[in-house]
Structure 1
Amino acid sequence: MEITIQPLVALVAGILILIAPRLLNYIVAIYLIVVGVVGLFGRQLGV
């Protein structure tokens, strides 16, 4: 079973938004940064 990082990050972000909606801006920003880093360096890391 292979788990990719993007769906996992999206799931965690969604749960955090449901728990603390005030953190929406920070959660979205962190999600975009993580997805961007994985997209840029994912091939080098073997992800």
Structure 2
Amino acid sequence: MTISISHLQPVIAILAGILVLIAPRLLNYIVAIYLIAVGVIGLGLFRGLS
């Protein structure tokens, strides 16, 4: 099985959710990093990874 970015999204979402439950102040940073990552991936800047 090949692991791609689409396989990592659920894992990242679970980890982010756990971090938010542990430290709610991290929510702003987690959301910002997630949005930046999705935008960069959506623009195709990581084509070499897939």
The TM-score normalised by the length of structure 2 is: 0.64
Matches within 5 A, 1:1-47: 1=1, 3=3, 4-41=7-44, 44-47=47-50
| Stretches of structure 2 lacking an aligned partner (at least 5 in a row) | none
- Structure 1 consecutive aligned stretches of length 4 or more whose deviation exceeds 4 Å: none
Structure whose residues are more often helix by fraction = 1
The percentage of aligned residue pairs carrying the same residue is 64
Size of the aligned set, in residue pairs, is 47
**Structure 1 runs not aligned, ≥5 long:** none
